[in-house]
Amino acid sequence: MSEARMLEIIFPANTNNLGTAFGGHILSLMDKAASIAAVRHCRKTVVTVSMDTVTFHVPIKVGDAVNLYAQVVKVGRTSMHIQVDVHKENLATAEQVLATSGRFVFVALDAEGKPTPVPPLDHVHD
């Protein structure tokens, strides 16, 4: 399984004076979801190398749920590219909207902390 799903609620402590989620908080959640997808793919320790083209489409407000979906979409010899989409959900109406999206790159590490090969994308774990 080369994917991960997470669900969080946005509380006031994670928002700015406008009552919308701090971008850094959303990036942290995205990085966490992406790392889970990367580990599920390679079953090794991973580290974030980059966050590419993160786009904040619409604001996320206090009380919104955020549904994160991360999926490995490309692999190199030691690296994995993970697409992360964040949908905000109004829990009262069940309306969901794409709020944030981005691409993350992770590298797998061996026991000595050196980059190590990862399985091809079509590799499936039981």
Sorted by where each starts, the structural domains of the chain and their CATH numbers stand as 3-109 (3.10.129.10)
Please state, rounded to an integer, the average pLDDT across all residues of the chain.
95
For 28, residues 6+ apart whose C-beta sits below 8 A from its C-beta are: none
Average pLDDT of span 46-68: 96
CA 114/CA 126 separation, integer angstroms? 26
Q: Which pLDDT score, from 0 to 100, does residue 124 have?
A: 52
> Is the CB of residue 81 less than 8 Å from the CB of residue 72?
yes
Average pLDDT of span 81-89: 98
pLDDT band at 126 (very low <50, low <70, confident <90, very high): very low
- Whether 115 has a pLDDT exceeding 70, the answer reads yes
pLDDT band at 122 (very low <50, low <70, confident <90, very high): confident
The β-bridge partners of 100 are: 56, 86
- Whether 125 has a pLDDT exceeding 90, the answer reads no
The β-bridge partners of 81 are: 74, 105
**Selection from 28, 8, 11 nearest residue 88 by Cα:** 8
Dihedral (CA of 58, 65, 98, 27) sign: positive
DSSP 3-state assignment of 78? Answer: coil
How confident is the model over 21-55, as pLDDT tens digits?
999 999 999 999 999 999 999 999 999 999 999 99
Q: Which pLDDT score, from 0 to 100, does residue 123 have?
A: 60
- Cα 85 to chain centroid, rounded: 7
Report how far apart, in Å, the C-alpha atoms of 16 and of each of 51, 88, 91, 100, 121 are: 22, 17, 21, 17, 39
